[in-house]
Amino acid sequence: MAGTPSAEQLRALAGAWIADDPDPRSRAELEALLDALPDAAAVADLADRFRGPLQFGTAGLRGPLRAGPNGMNRAVVGRAAAGLARYLDDVGAEGPVVVGYDARHGSHEFALDTVQIVQGSGRAALLMPRQLPTPVLAFAVGALEAAAGVMVTASHNPPQDNGYKVYLGGASGLNAQIVPPADADISARIAAVTALGQIPRSDDYQVVGEEVYEKFLQAAADAVAPGSPREVSVVSTALHGVGGDTLLAAFERAGFAAPTPVAHQQRPNPEFPGLAFPNPEEKGVMDDVLALAAERGADLAIANDPDADRCAAAAPMRGGWRQLRGDELGVLLADHLMRRGERGTYATTIVSSSMLGAICAKRGVPYAATLTGFKWIVRAPEQTGAPLRFGYEEAIGYAVDPRSVNDKDGISAALVTAELAAALKAEGSSIQQRLDDLYAEFGYYLTSQISLRVDDLSIIAGTMRRLRDEPPTRIGPWAVAVEDLLPRTDALVLSGDGLRVVIRPSGTEPKLKAYLEVTATSEADAGSQMATLRSALSLILVPPTR
């Protein structure tokens, strides 16, 4: 609807939505806003909720928990489930739909709505037995030969959010996250759902047995090489998510001593107390696990995000305990797997460090740089012709066993990181020393990131438009060339001598992100150049004042 709708228009929109909303709490939420009309705050709130539907894209759905079409609620999820079921029927997909969920507010209800609607469509629906990490659901899609999988999670988003991630099975879907045109095709089926109350439902869905979870644990344990060192002391945190028990069980299954967890962050809690953004990349989120690691004299600290598809690691480094950057751990894991003799494609994304490409080139290993996201990383073999053996993205996502989980997996990644630390310890080396060895051989690659979080998404669109209309020719002392990646993806690449910057909107959060890389001969030179680059780039990214 163009412009701001009137109070009467909003009353009509909300009334029609309420009539078809299956959730009494959501209906009451909207009715309270209607009772407040024509109050300006109520008008603004309703206008935002009804300015359009929550968009279904390659990340599925993700948004704030609230009533109305522009939020995560049972009515929106019900339409998504009905649209997905219709899409699978239309493309002739065979097999059930398996649905998993985490411990966020609404996750279990959204999962139940999904299996009831899928089962009601005439297709078998399978519900995971309890709240479990996203990688378990991704594993189950292949293990159960499912047509599709749905994971109800908002991953590392704030407590007030939830989401709906879709995987497609079979040879075409690769048991991986959806990519175009499937996202648009599913979205069209969702938009075609009119009266949700008329969608058939069934309670004849099945609950998945524990054997699938046990197979996942075994596959994760098998990602570690037989006979490799296991002597390593690890501490961990689940960040109030659902990965705590699974991580401990996987370590024990693989023959490691169980990590010592941060006790007050081990159990699931949808409020994520003390963590406004429960993402290990955010400043301060790993403080408690780092303190525990120092207190216990551990060799390694591991943090999973709330749905445990990401893995962050910290270790004793020069100057004390430090969290590894995503690119550092990615290069270390790739190097470790190569030294284990693991062959196949090694892949990362255009916003990650280019160091992996340099390593692969020298060692004669197939390499691919893909668009951002694991939905593209797992399709890297289309570039190389060799099966994917390892993939990573700088946002602490790692696929160390893509044959089992064709997505990022924070559980198996934690195990292989522990194997790496144990192997280096047995050699009398360390994570710091191995990084130094790699930098000595390939040059010092330093990466960083600038994120601009906004309340108004038009600021992001405006900044990208400004940079396209007036592309910079210099960033500080560097002359740069600009490559526009449209229409493949909304990103700009700025490159110069020893410098590369990728600027793009976040796909899951209201952020504009800039990914920075400098290449130098020493850590000191790289640090100095990065400081200069960050300062100069910030001036380019911030919209000019009028």
The residue among 71, 57, 52, 64 whose CA lies nearest residue 490 is: 57
pLDDT digits (tens, 9 = 90+) for 177-224: 999 999 999 999 999 998 999 999 999 999 999 999 999 999 999 999
Same-domain status, 175 and 232? no
Flag whether 501 is in a domain.
Answer: yes
pLDDT score, position 177: 97
Per-residue b or e along 48-86, where b marks 16 or more CB atoms closer than 10 Å to that residue's CB: ebbeebbebbbbbbbbbbbbbbbbbbbbbbbbbbbbbbb
Domain, as residue range, for 5: 1-51
pLDDT score, position 507: 78
Using the predicted structure, report yes or no on whether residue 395 has a pLDDT greater than 90.
yes
Tokens 């969608």 belong to which residue? 199
pLDDT digits (tens, 9 = 90+) for 244-267: 999 999 999 999 999 999 999 999
pLDDT digits (tens, 9 = 90+) for 447-471: 999 999 898 889 999 999 999 999 9
Phi-psi map region of 352: left, alpha, beta (phi>0 left; psi -120 to 50 alpha): beta
pLDDT band at 545 (very low <50, low <70, confident <90, very high): low
pLDDT band at 2 (very low <50, low <70, confident <90, very high): low
Percent of the chain clearing pLDDT 90 (strictly above): 94
Same-domain status, 493 and 514? yes
The terminus-to-terminus CA distance of the chain in angstroms comes to 30
**CB-CB contact of 534 with 446 (8 Å):** no
| Options 26, 155, 236, 412, the catalytic residue | 155
Same-domain status, 81 and 2? no
Same-domain status, 273 and 305? yes
Report the relative pairing of strands 234-237 and 176-177 from DSSP bridges: unpaired
Same-domain status, 290 and 317? yes
Which of 411, 441, 471 is a domain's end point?
441
Q: Which two tokens stand for residue 285?
A: 């989120």
Report the relative pairing of strands 234-237 and 260-261 from DSSP bridges: parallel
Flag whether 546 is in a domain.
Answer: no
The residue among 243, 263, 250, 261 whose CA lies nearest residue 132 is: 243
Using the predicted structure, report yes or no on whether residue 1 has a pLDDT greater than 60.
no
Same-domain status, 83 and 190? yes
Residue 189: CB atoms within 10 Å: 20
**CB-CB contact of 364 with 339 (8 Å):** no
Could you confirm whether 535 is annotated as catalytic? no
**CB-CB contact of 402 with 333 (8 Å):** no
Using the predicted structure, report yes or no on whether residue 506 has a pLDDT greater than 90.
no
Which of 441, 459, 478 is a domain's end point?
441
Q: In sequence order, what are the residues at sequence separation of 6 or more whose Cβ sits closer than 8 angstroms to the Cβ of residue 445?
A: 327, 331, 353, 354, 355, 358, 439, 517, 518, 519, 526
The DSSP code for 498 is T
In DSSP terms, 453 is beta-bridged to 511
Which of 423, 441, 459 is a domain's end point?
441
Q: What is the mean pLDDT of residues 532-539?
A: 95
Same-domain status, 508 and 373? no
Q: What is the mean pLDDT of residues 156-163?
A: 96
pLDDT digits (tens, 9 = 90+) for 88-142: 999 999 999 999 999 999 999 999 999 999 999 999 999 999 999 999 999 999 9
In DSSP terms, 235 is beta-bridged to 260, 301
